[in-house]
Structure 1
Amino acid sequence: MPFASRQDEIPPAQRRAAVATILALHVAAAWGLLQVDAVRSAVVEAAPLFVELIAPPVPERPPEPPAPPPPSLTPKPPPPPAPVIAAAPRIEAPAAFVVPESPPEPAPPAPPEPPVVVVAAPAPPAPPPPPAAPRELPASAIQYLEPPEPVYPRASRRLGEAGLVVVRVFVGADGLPKQLQVLHSSGFLRLDEAALEGVRRARFMPPTENGRPTAGWARIPIPFELEK
């Protein structure tokens, strides 16, 4: 039998491999059981039973009481102060009697100032009334010393320009034309300028109003007609 026991003996390396294999199989089997919901719930419910087997913690040692403070030293009271001897009050001599001076006489009141008279400034003079607008002279009041004689422009004759120009002229009290303007144009600039120049050379009899010379605006028609 010694020979048979020697053949059944397993080498140490194979024994360790077999033990590791068995442990691995147990771990795999336990992991597989934990994947089942019923097994995992039972393990969770049984977990508190293992906690009760743990020994309770050792209570902490209470802290030591603090050491009593050292006894306080009572201060020694100071010695009483030495008595103070009060000096006798000094008697002063009475002051000399002085006769008060009489108050000065009040000054006489100042004479009242004369009242101030405020003189209002004179009002500015009223502005002069604006001059009356020059009136329009009727056609019957227009009389000539030298009637207007406009010159028909040659270019206007050659181009066949014709028409009526109404010149508005301001005749002064001396009968001279002061201002001129085209009131109605002929449609041709050359004819309008010729009409203005003809009226500018004209001389008027001074217009009168109530027997006195006056001035006013007059309308002078200047026709330009081509000869047929």
Structure 2
Amino acid sequence: MYAERNDRPGAIKPGSLAMAIAINAGVLSAVLLAAPEIIKIKPPVPIEIINIPIEPPPPPEPVQPRAKTDPAPQPKPILADPIIKIDRPVDVTFPGTTIIPTGPTGTSEGTGVIIDPPAPPPVLIEPSIDDRYRSSFQPAYPPAEQRAERSGFVVVRVLIGIDGRVSAVERVSATSDDFFETTRRTALGKWRFKPATRGGAPVERWRVMRVTFQIEEA
């Protein structure tokens, strides 16, 4: 019975197993006993440092002195004409007028041409408020300012024409835009003046007007 089991195909024989173990043990012993390989490392080559001399920079070029230039000529001061003192009066003759003496020279006898003095400039009379329209000069109180119970004032320049009406209004100062706007509309529509006159003839003229807005206490 035992002889048949050991002779089966594919069965491991005891002799072959022992031989395989012996071969592996020999190989392992050879690896363990082999001397390690020593790798030699070459020492680093020293670096030689060479100092290269640097040539000094060339000396700076000498600075040439600037040529002196003559200063610009200064303007000569303008001197006022000297005052000439005259001990005796000087006769003044207007252009186009000739005085003809009739008496001997150096005497006061005779008559000459009498020169009338120049006419004075025409008199300018500034414009004034026409009393017939004085009650219309106060503008209506702006509703927003009245609700806020706010007082104020407006200063304007008005151009008064030859008919006494206002043709232009310029704002000088005002407490608010509402105060100015109601003043401007009233001036253009209701204000009436006695126009300015120059030598009796009516002329246009500017005048500054101030309007005050005041809340009346009950």
User: Taking structure 2 as the reference length, what is the TM-score of the superposition?
Assistant: 0.38
Highest CA radius of gyration, 1 or 2? Answer: 1
Greater fraction of residues in helix: 1
